[in-house]
A = this chain, B = another copy of it.
Amino acid sequence: MAENAKRPFDVLNGALNKNVLIKLKGDTEVRGELASFDVHMNLVIENGEELHNGEHKRKLGTVLLRGDTVVYVSPA
Residues of A within 8 A of B (CB): 1-4, 6-13, 16, 21, 23-26, 28, 30, 35-39, 41-44, 48, 60-75
- Specify the chain B residue showing the minimal Cβ separation from A39: B1
A3 CA to B66 CA, complexed, in Å:
16
What is the copy number of this chain in the assembly? 7
- On chain B, the residues within 8 Å of A71 by CB distance are 24, 26, 28, 65-66, 69
Q: Can you sample 26 A-B contacts with CB below 8 Å?
A: A1-B7, A3-B37, A4-B16, A4-B37, A6-B36, A6-B44, A7-B36, A7-B38, A8-B37, A9-B38, A11-B44, A11-B64, A12-B64, A21-B60, A23-B28, A24-B72, A25-B26, A25-B69, A60-B74, A62-B75, A63-B72, A64-B74, A65-B72, A68-B68, A69-B71, A69-B72
